[in-house]
Amino acid sequence: MLRAWFEMALWKRILLALVLGVLVGSVWGAGAVSIKWMGDLFVRLISMVVVPLIFFTLVSGVISMGDPKKLGSLGVMTLGLYMLTTLFAITIGIILAVVVQPGVGVDLSSAAPGTIQEATPLSERLMSIVPTNPMAALAEGNVLAIIFFALLVGIAALIVGQKAKPVADLVDAASEVMLKITGWVMEVAPFGVFALIAWVSGTQGVLALADVVKLAVCVFLGCFLHMFLVHGAIMRFLLKLKPINFFRGARDAMLVAFSTSSSSATMPVTMAVAERNLGIQPVVATTVIPLGATINMDGTALYVGIVSVFAAQAFGIDLSLADYLIVMGATTLVSIGTAAVPGASVFLMAAVMGAIGMTPDQIAVVVGFIIPFDRPLDMARTTVNVGGDLSVATVVANWEKEFDAEVFNGPNRY
C-alpha cells in the first residue's frame, strides 16, 4: 500500500486528499479544528524554504544568463504581461457583476461592520524594495527586497567574471539543494491539504456561501473564465501550445494554492512545477515567479472588482462608465499592493469602494458581510493568482528561448 501511494502521481494524491478533506470536514464539523495543526505544519514547511529558495535560485539564474542586459528585457516583458492579464481579470469581473447583478436585493442590515485596514501606499512598497539591511530582509521574508538584493549579487558576479566562479558554484549547488528539500516537503502536501480542507469545510464549508449565492457564482465563474479563456487563449493562440498540457503541468501548484490560500506559501511548489512540469528554465522561473507572487494578483483583482460593483448595487449606487473605469484603475493598484497571504484582499477593498463614492460606514458593513464566507472565495482566487504566474512565466520562457517543449508536453509526474 505504501509503495502504491508513492507511485501515484502527486497531483492525484493531493486531489484525493482534497476530496477526503471535504467529506471528513463536512461530517466532523467544528471538530476538524483538532487536525488543523497538520495543515499549519505543512504551511510552515513550505514557508521555511521560500527565502533560501528565492535567493539562491535567483542568483544562480542571473549568473547563468551570461549577460546582464538580458535581465532588463526579461523584467520589462514580465511586468507588462502581469499588468495586461490583471486588466483582463478586472474586465471579466466587472462584466460578470453587471450581468449577474449579485448585489441587487441583498440586505446588509444584519452585517456587523468589519475593521478596515488601509492598503499599503504604492510609494511605500516601492521604497521597501531597497533593503536597509539585506540580512534583515532575508530574516523577515521581504520578497521584493530579497529579489532586489539577489539581482544585485547575481549581476555583480557576472561582471566580476572568473574570480566569482566559487560564488557561482556555491549558489548553484545551494539552489539544487533547496529544490531537493522542496521535493521532500511536497511529499507532505497531501496530508497538509487534507487537514486544511477538512478544517475549512468543517468550520465554514460550502454552505457558508448560501447567503451570497450570486456573489459566489460570479467569483467562481470569473475565476474559471479568466483561467480558461485568457490563459488558455495565451497558450493556444500566442504560444501555439496545447492548453491542456499547461493546466496538467500547473495542477500541483494550483491545488496547493487552493488549499493554502497563499501565493507566497505556494511559491516553492510553483517554482518546482515551472521547471519540472512546464519546461521553464531556472533563469526565467526564478525571476518571474517570485515577482508574480508579489505583484501579480489576477484573482484578487477580479474579486475586488466584483465586490465593489456588488457593494454599489446593494446600496443602490448607480455607476457610470467613468466609475467603472475608476474601479479598473484603482483595482489594478490595489492588487499590486495586496499581500500574498490568506484574506488580505478583504481589507484592501476600501480604496476601490471609496473611489466610487462609498462612505467609510458602508465600506465597513460590506467588509463585515464578506468576512464570514471569504475563505472559500479566497481559495478560488489564489488558484487563479498562481495559475497566472505560471502562464506568464511560460510566455516569457518562450520568448527568451528558455523553454523546453519536451518537458511541457511530457507526462508531468512531479
Are 398 and 242 spatial neighbours (Cβ–Cβ below 8 Å)?
A: no
77 in a structural domain: yes
Among 343, 370, 365, smallest CA distance to 102 is for 370
Cα 309 to chain center, whole Å?
23
142 in a structural domain: yes
413 in a structural domain: no
CA pair distance 290, 188, nearest whole angstrom? 22
Per-10-residue mean pLDDT of the chain, 414 residues long, equals: 77 86 87 90 85 85 73 80 91 93 76 54 71 90 82 88 90 88 86 88 65 84 96 96 95 91 86 93 86 83 90 88 85 61 60 79 80 80 94 94 92 56
389 in a structural domain: yes
In this structure, what DSSP letter does residue 337 have?
T
Exposed, middle or buried by CB within 10 Å (0-12, 13-18, 19+), for 48? middle
CATH number at residue 234: 1.10.3860.10
Can you give the length of the chain in residues?
Answer: 414
Domains held by the chain: number: 1
Among 249, 255, 244, smallest CA distance to 280 is for 249
Among 61, 48, 80, 54, smallest CA distance to 155 is for 61
- Residues contacting 125, CB < 8 A, separation 6+: 144, 336, 337
The pLDDT of residue 270: 93
SS3 280: strand
CA pair distance 318, 304, nearest whole angstrom? 18
* The model's pTM: 0.80
123 in a structural domain: yes
For 220, other C-beta atoms within 10 Å of its C-beta total 15
272 in a structural domain: yes
What range defines the domain where residue 33 resides? Answer: 2-408
Among 275, 259, 297, smallest CA distance to 388 is for 297
178 in a structural domain: yes
The pLDDT of residue 414: 47
HSE-CB at 111 with a 13 A cutoff on CA atoms is 23
127 in a structural domain: yes
Query: Cell 480542507 appears where?
Result: 197
Are 225 and 91 spatial neighbours (Cβ–Cβ below 8 Å)?
A: no
What are 280's strand-pairing partners?
403
